[in-house]
Structure formats: structure tokens, C-alpha cells
Amino acid sequence: MYNVWENALAEIEQKVSPANFSTWFQDTSLLSNNNGYIVIGVKNSFYVKQLRTRFLDIITEALTKNNINVKTIDFEVQSSSKSKIRPREITADSLIKDIKPIKKHAESSNGLNSKYTIENFVVGSNNDLAFSAAKSIIDTPGTRYNPFFLYGGPGLGKTHLVQAIGNELLRRNPNYKILYTPISHFYSDFIDAIQNGRGREFNRKFEKLDCLIIDDFQFIVGKEKSQEEFFNIFNDLYQLNKQIIITSDRLPSQIKTVDERLATRLTWAGAFDLQLPKFEDKCAILKTKAELMGAEIEPEAIEYIAENINTNIRDLEGELSTILLMSEVRGLTPLELIHNGAASINKTSKLRPVSSKQIVEKVAKYYQLSPKELCSKSRVSNIKTARQVAMFLLSKELSMSTTKIATEVGVKDHTTVMHGIKKIETDLKLNFILRDQIEEIKEKIYG
């Protein structure tokens, strides 16, 4: 069991922020696995509430990827005398035992978690197109956006948005038949059905659905029989105008082993991506999350977190939870913690500093150009695109003025820079290939 949990923790560590991992997972253990009935050891009841309400899906996925057919997950508080969990250097157990338990959000037999709603999904410039499509689906399911394919990096709100669609459809029509399932569960259930001669029973589960929501489609990689089964289910539901919703961390065409026919069908109605939130978006997200938690946090503290977390929404929420917990434990306001230096953002969550020269060099190399070519007056298409991408990144990553950017990339004046930045911002709304290219470039810049 030790190896299984160590492997699961390695998976979880890739999914959550360093702050969340060290706070909520470092001192956990797998106590038992009785045919899929899992018991995980934790330090106190506050950890139980946090793990159950915020990380249950991630834990389930990590265990499933380690060949455990998860049926239920329970948490058991371990006393210091019995626990094999390594103690942390500084603990606050005695101070947080009396913190009021967080209300549990029910997860029903259809897989939907009631905490994900349209009302608490924060809309910003990073997700407004996807949200508009979601609202259209809620109003007229199975029509315009069918299938609805949503993709983007981890921690950007894909699961929240698609489950919110399901919950709102169900609220409007309690008889609506919906199933939400990660693709890993689809795969394991399918294999189990085949091995036990229940293939027909497996198919019947999907035949009467009004809406099927599949999460993390990228994990179907290399599973040919599951792809074929899913292809048939997809076609049957689509022919009946039933709503199909898929999430993935990338486009189907970018998942190398996905059948071309299936990849094409998944994006019949287009594809919508969730982008990294801008500063204003991050502030709105943090404010909303704090309100939902019933916590008070100063605007300056919100801005501090937003300025220092440049990864994703999950990391934003993780830092917010950590600061609020420290505030509760130490009896200080979040801003007082920050001013005292007690709530400095985890260094691994911040992007390391880079120079304008490094950005220009990385962009040029990505497009197989020299920096001199990128900064030339050439109007050749690929050179022009590379130059505009460099302008965009210099603006967004270094907050450089358009006048200074013009000097860096060798253009006449700041109006050309403004046009180039605007062009990239507009293209990013619908050009998913460009979106991925810029993310790859940023990885090379900060890698």
C-alpha cells in the first residue's frame, strides 16, 4: 500500500500547487484498501473537510491511474501515538481543531458535484467565450454547441464549468438524465464489463442519457477498444440530439493516438479553450472564492496574491486557502501576514525573472529564426508573426511600454507595437494552435 500511495502522491503533486501539496497531502497515508473502499489517514478533522470538498476528484484519479478501482474514499484522523505520518516541524493542530467544519457538497450517482454552479463560476476575459457557449447549452441542449469540446491547461476551471452545466440542466429539469465521468472511469468500467460479460449492461447505461459529460479525455491515449466503444456511444447520442460535453488538456488532433474519425467528430461544433487569467480576472476569482468561504481579505492582499501567482486558478485558490488558514491560526489579517513576511508566496509558484533579450531569443529560436531576422523590417509572414508574438510576450511578461518594445524588436513606433499586440490578443480567442505555441514558448522561456 505504501508504494501505491507514494505513486498516487506523485500524481497528485503534478495536479496541485506546491503550497496545496505541502499543506494538505504531505502528512497523509493510505491506511487500507478493501476492494476499492479506501481509507486515508490525516492529521485532524479540518484536513478531512478540505480533502473531501476540494481534492476528492484528484485523489480518485491518482488512485485509479495506479490500478485501484475506487468505490469510496473515507478519511480517518490519526492520533500522534498511532500515526505513521511524519510530523511537520511546525504544527498548528491545537489551534485549528475548533475551526468550523466546511459544508460537504453532495456528489450524486450521476457524478455531479453540487459545489460546481454557474453562479460561482467567475467569468473573465480568459473564459468568456466558453462561458457564453455553456449558457447556450443550458438554454437549448443538444443543438448549437453539440458536441461541446472544452480544453485548456490544468487548474483553469474546465471541470467546474462542465459540471456547472450539468447541475443547471438538472436544476431546470430534475428528470433530465445526466452522467459525468472522467474518461479513466469510463475506461475501467468498460474493461470490467467486458471481463465479466456485462458489455450490454455497460452500453445500456448510456442509451437513455440526455447529456454525457466526459472529463480529461486526453487519458484515453492508446486505449483503442475504449476509443471504439466511445466512438459508437458518441454517434448514438449525437444522432438523437443528446448533449455531449468533453474536456481535455489539448485538442483531439494533438492527442497522437486518437482515431482521426473520433478527433474530427469531437470538434464538429468547434472547440473552446480556457486561458490563463489576467490580473483583473485573478482578483475577481480570489474575491469570489473568499466570499464563498465566508472569509474576509483585504483588497491589497488579493492584489498581492494575483500579482505573484502566474500559473493557474488552482494555484491561486491554493495560496488563498493557505493565507486564510495562517490568518486563522495566527490571529492576524491576511494583509498583516503579508506585511510581516509570514505569507510570502512559495517561490516555486512564481515565474523566474527573464530579460527582454531572452524573450526575443526564445521566440526567434522557436520560429527557427535568428534574433536579427526577427527584429528586421521583413514582412514575410512567419517573421511578422514571430515579431508580433515577441511584442505580445514583452508586454504581458515584462509589462514593458510599447515605445520600449518598439526599440527592442526594431519597429518604427509604438503604434505598430500596439497593433501587433492587439492582433495576437484577438487571434488567441479562436486560434488554438497559436495559443499552444505561445504556451510552449513560455515554457522554454521559464523552463
pLDDT tens digit string along 39-63?
999 877 667 777 887 889 899 989 9
Most confident of 14-28, 98-112, 359-373: 359-373
Q: Are residues 38 and 89 in the same domain?
A: yes
Residue 343 is predicted with a pLDDT of 67
Q: Which three cell numbers stand for residue 260?
A: 482521426
DSSP category for residue 286 = H
Q: Are residues 212 and 322 in the same domain?
A: no
Residue of 296, 339, 347 lying closest to 320 (CA atoms): 296
For 42, phi then psi, to 5°, come to -135, 175
Q: Which pLDDT belongs to residue 352?
A: 62
For residues 282 and 313, give the distance between their C-alpha atoms in angstroms, rounded to a whole number: 8
- If one counts the domains in the chain, the total is 4
348: pLDDT confidence band, cut at 50, 70 and 90?
very low
Q: What is the mean pLDDT of residues 335-348?
A: 71
The lowest-confidence range among 189-193, 243-247, 268-272 is 189-193
Question: What is the Cα–Cα distance from 165 to 135, expressed in whole angstroms?
Answer: 8
C-alpha cell, 100: 468550523
How far apart are alpha carbons 315 and 346 in whole angstroms?
10
Q: Quick one: average pLDDT of 132-152?
A: 95
Q: Which alpha helices (H) appear in 180-245, and where do they start and end? A: 183-195, 199-207, 224-239
Note whether 342 and 370 are same-domain residues.
Answer: no
C-alpha distances (whole Å) from 434 to each of 24, 281, 373, 389 are 36, 21, 20, 9
**330 and 366 housed in the same domain:** no
The answer, yes or no, to whether residue 256 has pLDDT greater than 90, is no
The pLDDT-based confidence of 340 (bands split at 50, 70, 90) is: confident
Q: Within this chain, do residues 340 and 384 fall inside the same structural domain, yes or no? A: no
For position 223, what pLDDT does the model report? 66
Whether 108 maps to a domain, the answer reads no
- Which residues neighbour 134 within 8 Å (Cβ) at sequence distance 6 or greater? 118, 148, 161, 162, 164, 165
Assess whether 86 and 184 both reside in one domain: no
CATH at 413: 1.10.1750.10
pLDDT tens string 82-119: 333 333 333 434 333 333 333 444 456 899 999 899 99
Number of other CB atoms surrounding residue 291 within 10 Å = 12
For residues 135 and 255, state if they share a domain.
yes
| One domain for residues 182 and 252 | yes
Q: What is the pLDDT of residue 19?
A: 63
The answer to whether residue 109 is domain-embedded is no
- Residue 245: give its domain's CATH number: 3.40.50.300
Residue 20 has what pLDDT? Answer: 73
For 35, list phi and psi in degrees, rounded to 5: 55, 45
Specify the pLDDT at position 241: 96
- Beta carbons of 151 and 271 less than 8 angstroms apart: yes
pLDDT band at 351 (very low <50, low <70, confident <90, very high): low
The verdict on 302 and 364 lying in the same domain is no
Q: What residues make up the domain containing 269?
A: 128-273
Angle, vertex CA 245, rays to CA 38 and CA 214, nearest 5: 25
Average pLDDT over the chain, rounded to whole?
Answer: 85
Contact criterion met (CB below 8 Å) for 248 and 217: yes
What cell does 176 get?
Answer: 433530465
Q: Are residues 233 and 157 in the same domain?
A: yes
DSSP 292-306: HTT----HHHHHHHH
Please give the helix or strand (H or E) that residue 61 lies within, else none. helix 56-64
**Lowest mean pLDDT: which of 74-83, 141-150, 202-211?**
74-83
One-letter amino acid of 274: L
Last residue of a domain, one of 213, 248, 273: 273
